[in-house]
Structure 1
């Protein structure tokens, strides 16, 4: 019940914020009921997609070009993907949160996403804040989850803070102490590093020359180089301890001085390579001969009685003529 009430309140705030930002897509709607406003923002619809596209265009002027390209694209989800990419750039969602863009996820999450986007619209930051009238404030105070705390506040017998507020307060104290300790450690580390760098600078003669140091070296570049060297040494030490130590302790391998084996292997590989090349050329020649034979059988190349005919037709005509001559000779 309390979750539905929060969703309705957030929908009312979003509708008021869009009206304050002069969104043309809410002009002429004149919605009064919270359910109607919630129905406008949460279920998937073309109107909701257009409102979300208008908000993205108001945040990023370059989104208008991306929107035009997405509208011309044949892909149906091109515009939704462009809005998801903008949300990822603003660190409000992921590029794969298509259900959030389409309006197919939890309504409260959708409303929170729209509220975060509206805070980035110029001139809309103050209008998108939490606005509560007297009735909404009373409903919040006298809700079922806050009523026990309200009763305890009116008649306090113990510490009126709830358990989760106590834990949060203790965690804040512990965090502040931990932060102070870390700050002290970082300050001491920086002090020791600075003293080590000053000692190193005093030992380096080339750093005493102001002309050379101004042109080539600087304390900041030396600090960066020293930090990189420390990281490389630490990385190499770790790799050496985990992977290389066992190999460094072994004896070096002994190789045979006889090179005839390698020479024979090289000759055999060379002969095998030559044979493979010959087989490849033979295969290519076979394919070429097959193509030529097919051309002889199918392409008209030989003249007969004023027209070109293929070889099988020409042979058939010759055989027929020879048979006719033989029959005439027998007669």
Structure 2
């Protein structure tokens, strides 16, 4: 009873996965009962074979070509063998599990095969229930027919090790002799190089790490300076012979006697430039003075009764006050008889 219930749950799950991946062979069926789904997926029929072929084509696009060849072939089991071969490549079944492909195996085994095959279809959501059964894979790997292959992998008849590694494994020391001889040659070469470097260091006194006092004459410094001077002289001699000798044989250039004219012209031009600069400064000063006068006439600069006033307004105010004060002075006989003319 429990096995039948598990098969019904599994067939519903497989049928739902076929609908989820948009299998065109289950569209429009609208199966609701588990028995109908089992009849569709676990009973041998052409419809079931077409569903398997569609799943294989979705997993491997190259399978469509194999399917066409199988249909054209005269053998009825060619397509079945093609599907079984693909299942073996995917490690889902063996190549001789033709009863599983035909639908003659147990429903539970067929549903597991379909479930595992659907997990490889692009776009299928893989859940924990859709993962491959590890125990089933291990059982498949350690079957009796695969044990010789595993034994051959662990103990191959063709030893892939190189010859010198084989010699080491067998305990032979013959392969170490070239290495020792090579090490001796390298040591001798290093010793010779070290002695040569020491001789060069003894000859080049300026390479010594001991600092020399500046007041002491150094023959090595003089030697270096003499070498540099010799190189410079040799370089100059080469350049003189190749480029300068042809030019040195010419006469000295003669200057024109009319150079005084150019000098006087230059002085006059300088004087003209100076006068123009002075005129420009005078013009700038005139413009500045005009602006100052305009500002005095138009802008308030003088304080009177708590506010700034323009110069013209201030002058008018002063004139008015003088004219108002003059009659008062006449009445007191303190001022002149004629009023002042303020303009």
TM-score by length of 2: 0.39
The structure with the larger Rg is 2
Structure holding more helix per residue: 1
TM-score by length of 1: 0.41
